[in-house]
A and B are shown apart, each in its own frame.
Chain A
Amino acid sequence: MSEQNAPARPARRRPAEETHEGPTRAHAYVCEAASCMSLQAHDITVKLGEAAAAAGQSDVIVKRVGCMGLCAAGPLVQIPETGEMFNAVSPDAVGPIVAALKKVKPGAEKLPHGPFFEHQVRVVTENFGELDPESLDDYLGRGGYEALQKVLSEMTSTEVREEITKSGLRGRGGAGYPTGLKWTTVAKAPGTQKYVICNADEGDPGAFMDRSVLESDPFRVLEGMAIAAFAVHATEGYIYCRAEYPLAVARLRSAIRQAQRAGFLGQGIADTSFTFDVQIRLGAGAFVCGEETALIASVEGKRGTPRPRPPYPAVEGLFGCPTLINNVESFANVPAILRKGSEWYSAMGVGKSKGTKVFALAGRIVNTGLVEVPMGMSLREIVYDIGGGIIDGRPFKAVQTGGPSGGCIPAQFLDMPMTYESLIEVGSFMGSGGLIVMDDTSCMVDVAKYFMDFCRDESCGKCVPCRVGTTQMWMLLDKITRGQADLIDLAQLERLAGVVQKMSLCGLGQGAPNPIFSTLRYFRDEYMAHIEERRCPAGVCEFDAVEVPA
């Protein structure tokens, strides 16, 4: 599928920057992340550069940058000096941008206007939309690798771990395990060979935060991994990335090559004795490989099946050695924490959920895209203020978080702060950060069936409760959506869901019943309408014809 899946080849041609001489009056940033790239964003970069040159504007730089976040309005072009943003640009109609560039007076960079941008707090995404993701020089110019140099020259590995612990950073992959604690466990585990793995197997449908980070700021992840390696005494690292993200993989490869050449990876990093190198491993389309023990099996070239824990990978992981596994976003937080200090970081957020979180907004929402907000922001602010509300002004029904292991949050919790704990309290799960907004055109039984179909397909088949249970639950849900079920089936479904949750080996099976539990908790009336009245309130399900008794 690799060929068909490639949205576009990464830019071969260097942007106009290199040919330019003399002082710069204005910039035009063209978003070249996957979503805009699939709408010919690279042609815009080329055409805009040509048009500006043809108009005699030799003091203008047209630059390729990472994701600007507002993917729904793409392809996007921004003039940073004025904060002006152009939506849905076509490569053949760059005239208005050239005209706007003409009027620009040099000055400080401004944020684009509008509530979508103004309500956000950017830590992980601080360079998004400004940095050329394939330029190490640009990254260095924005404070890149300052944190690593500080760590290597001024700190001991214990101090680094303490700093991360004090910052309150928790795993951004979803489970929220304290990152500092994980690092300490790996550092203290016996063994001379240790590994660092970056989990970039972002399998949750509707989640694209990690992809955006890798496409927009790949050096940041490499820097975070190098700091982690220093803190846990590892010398080798792997990035396990989905093969479905060809652009992210290409940018990572380019970043690794540049970092190696500049001495930020490899032997004797930054003129110290510290050695660390990174390799990429491609996933091959198995959702279960996001689970850490399955991921390790896959990096070892085996079928991606999980194994029971303990021993945890922190003690016995890749090739039997202590292994640190963190998510892309967790690593991307690390350089900022060490540069600005743990106190700065832990001042953001609420309770035990510190810092910021990147969310991917998708579904029936106006501003589909990528946002970063402080932990504890209410769902209402995210959906309505930043997200611009529901398409066509329809009523909000629920937001689905946490992917196939998560749950649905109904309208009554719109004012709830988004933290690890509060989400679990309402029967959902932070997950990697995909927020899928649903309106009254979505049937919640059908949504539960959709996720169960996902889980039964992606179950690796190693343990029986998950392999058989997910299929049985899907059959029961299918029966309900066809109007063939009775209350006994519903009771059976609930019982089975409990069994699968308790008995499964890994997170996939344990989490698979969550969509059922949460839809039953908040939308039981929809299940009852399907069963007792043979009616789908959202008008999604089609019922079988009723058999007339002879």
Chain B
Amino acid sequence: MPALYKKPSPPSDDKRWKIVETRMRRMGDRPAALIEALHAAQEAFGYLDESALHFVGDTLGVPHSRVYGVATFYSFFTLKPQGEHTCVVCTGTACYINGAKEILAGLERELHVKPKQTTPDNKLSILTARCLGACSLAPAVIVDGEVAGKINTGELIARLEAM
């Protein structure tokens, strides 16, 4: 029987698929590697599209339905591409009582974009995080990978508009 099984080939000849394949192979291409494989694919491509989900599922022998189930269950995985810039607003308790709510309201009022949305011009995505662990800097946001602490709505919007 094993002779009948053919390992699926990547959806394209993009070299980044090699990273995903290696990560899966290291864990023996077993179904238990599913989450690690999705992490690898998202790290490489920024988001998970249908071809990535199919490829990972076929390699690990996991039904597509279950791959989709796992990818949508965990909030860390995103099935849509992000905007050019990202702004992650921490909504942990310390940030919340220090004004994260006003920051989100301000972003919606001024830039017309809600959490988990991207502006129509594809410039900016707003995300929220449960807790960045930067509680000493509350309220904290991450703009394009850089933490900005003790920030107020005006400063943040000025910074985002300048990008």
- Asked if residues B70 and A208 are in contact (CB atoms below 8 Å), the reply is no
Q: In the complex, A363→B93 CA distance in Å?
A: 8
- Asked if residues A244 and B133 are in contact (CB atoms below 8 Å), the reply is yes
> Does A7 interact with chain B (Cβ within 8 Å)?
yes
Contacts of A301 in B (CB 8 A): 30-36, 60, 62, 70
Contacts of B86 in A (CB 8 A): 4
The contact of A205 among B39, B62, B78, B130, by CB within 8 Å, is: B130
A1-B76, A205-B131 known; A299 and B32 CB under 8 Å? yes
> Does B136 interact with chain A (Cβ within 8 Å)?
yes
A6-B145, A302-B70 known; A206 and B93 CB under 8 Å? yes
> Does A394 interact with chain B (Cβ within 8 Å)?
no
Number of interface residues of A (CB under 8 A): 56
Interface string of A173-210 (1 = CB under 8 A from B): 00000000000000000000000000000011111100
Interface string of A22-48 (1 = CB under 8 A from B): 000000000000110011000000000
Interface string of A298-339 (1 = CB under 8 A from B): 111111100000000000000100000000000000000000
What's the nearest-Cβ distance from chain B to residue A270, in Å? Answer: 26
What's the nearest-Cβ distance from chain A to residue B85, in Å? Answer: 9
- Asked if residues B136 and A35 are in contact (CB atoms below 8 Å), the reply is yes
Name which residue of chain B comes closest to A36, CB basis: B136
Q: In the complex, A72→B34 CA distance in Å?
A: 39
A window 273-303: CB within 8 A of B: 281-287, 298-303
Q: In the complex, A204→B92 CA distance in Å?
A: 8
- Asked if residues A208 and B135 are in contact (CB atoms below 8 Å), the reply is yes
Q: In the complex, A203→B88 CA distance in Å?
A: 17
What's the nearest-Cβ distance from chain B to residue A523, in Å? Answer: 15
> Does B144 interact with chain A (Cβ within 8 Å)?
yes
Contacts of A272 in B (CB 8 A): none
A-B interface pairs (CB < 8 A), number: 154
Contacts of B129 in A (CB 8 A): 1, 5, 244
What's the nearest-Cβ distance from chain B to residue A460, in Å? Answer: 8
Q: In the complex, A304→B73 CA distance in Å?
A: 8
Q: In the complex, A295→B96 CA distance in Å?
A: 27
- Asked if residues B132 and A5 are in contact (CB atoms below 8 Å), the reply is yes
A1-B78, A368-B135 known; A281 and B70 CB under 8 Å? no
Name which residue of chain A comes closest to B138, CB basis: A362
- Asked if residues B144 and A4 are in contact (CB atoms below 8 Å), the reply is yes
What's the nearest-Cβ distance from chain A to residue B66, in Å? Answer: 8
A1-B129, A6-B145, A285-B76 known; A360 and B36 CB under 8 Å? no
- Asked if residues A74 and B136 are in contact (CB atoms below 8 Å), the reply is yes
Q: In the complex, A447→B73 CA distance in Å?
A: 26
A window 352-402: CB within 8 A of B: 360, 362-364, 368-369, 400
> Does A480 interact with chain B (Cβ within 8 Å)?
no
> Does A412 interact with chain B (Cβ within 8 Å)?
no
Name which residue of chain B comes closest to A439, CB basis: B97
Contacts of B136 in A (CB 8 A): 35, 71-72, 74, 362, 368-369
- Asked if residues B132 and A282 are in contact (CB atoms below 8 Å), the reply is no
> Does A436 interact with chain B (Cβ within 8 Å)?
yes
A5-B142, A34-B133 known; A205 and B92 CB under 8 Å? yes
- Asked if residues B35 and A284 are in contact (CB atoms below 8 Å), the reply is yes
Contacts of A302 in B (CB 8 A): 34, 66, 70
What's the nearest-Cβ distance from chain B to residue A218, in Å? Answer: 16
> Does B113 interact with chain A (Cβ within 8 Å)?
no
> Does A2 interact with chain B (Cβ within 8 Å)?
yes
- Asked if residues A285 and B74 are in contact (CB atoms below 8 Å), the reply is yes
Q: In the complex, A438→B94 CA distance in Å?
A: 9
Interface string of A46-83 (1 = CB under 8 A from B): 00000000000000000000000001101000000000
Interface string of B77-117 (1 = CB under 8 A from A): 11000000010100111101110000000000000000000
Contacts of B146 in A (CB 8 A): 38
Contacts of B32 in A (CB 8 A): 299-301, 319
Contacts of B96 in A (CB 8 A): 205, 450
Q: In the complex, A374→B88 CA distance in Å?
A: 36
> Does A243 interact with chain B (Cβ within 8 Å)?
yes
Contacts of A264 in B (CB 8 A): none
Interface string of B127-158 (1 = CB under 8 A from A): 10111111111100010111101000000000
What's the nearest-Cβ distance from chain A to residue B157, in Å? Answer: 18
What's the nearest-Cβ distance from chain B to residue A88, in Å? Answer: 12
Q: In the complex, A413→B73 CA distance in Å?
A: 40
Contacts of A304 in B (CB 8 A): 73-74
Name which residue of chain B comes closest to A442, CB basis: B97
Contacts of B42 in A (CB 8 A): 2
A243-B39, A284-B76, A286-B75 known; A34 and B93 CB under 8 Å? no
Q: In the complex, A299→B96 CA distance in Å?
A: 31
A window 1-18: CB within 8 A of B: 1-7
Contacts of A38 in B (CB 8 A): 134, 137, 146-147, 149
- Asked if residues B145 and A206 are in contact (CB atoms below 8 Å), the reply is no
Q: In the complex, A304→B75 CA distance in Å?
A: 11
Q: In the complex, A286→B76 CA distance in Å?
A: 8
The contact of B39 among A39, A282, A286, by CB within 8 Å, is: A282
What are 26 contact pairs spanning A and B, CB under 8 A?
A4-B88, A4-B142, A4-B145, A5-B88, A5-B129, A34-B133, A35-B136, A39-B137, A203-B130, A206-B93, A207-B131, A208-B135, A243-B39, A283-B74, A284-B75, A284-B76, A284-B77, A285-B74, A286-B73, A302-B70, A303-B73, A319-B32, A362-B135, A362-B138, A450-B93, A460-B73
Residues of A within 8 A of B (CB): 1-7, 34-35, 38-39, 71-72, 74, 203-208, 211, 243-245, 281-287, 298-304, 319, 360, 362-364, 368-369, 400, 403, 434, 436, 438, 441-442, 447, 450, 454, 460
| Besides A71-B136, A368-B135, 5 new A-B residue pairs in contact (Cβ under 8 A), listed by A number | A4-B88, A4-B127, A71-B135, A206-B131, A301-B36
The 6 A-B residue pairs whose C-beta atoms are closest, nearest first, are A284-B74, A285-B76, A205-B92, A38-B147, A71-B136, A301-B34
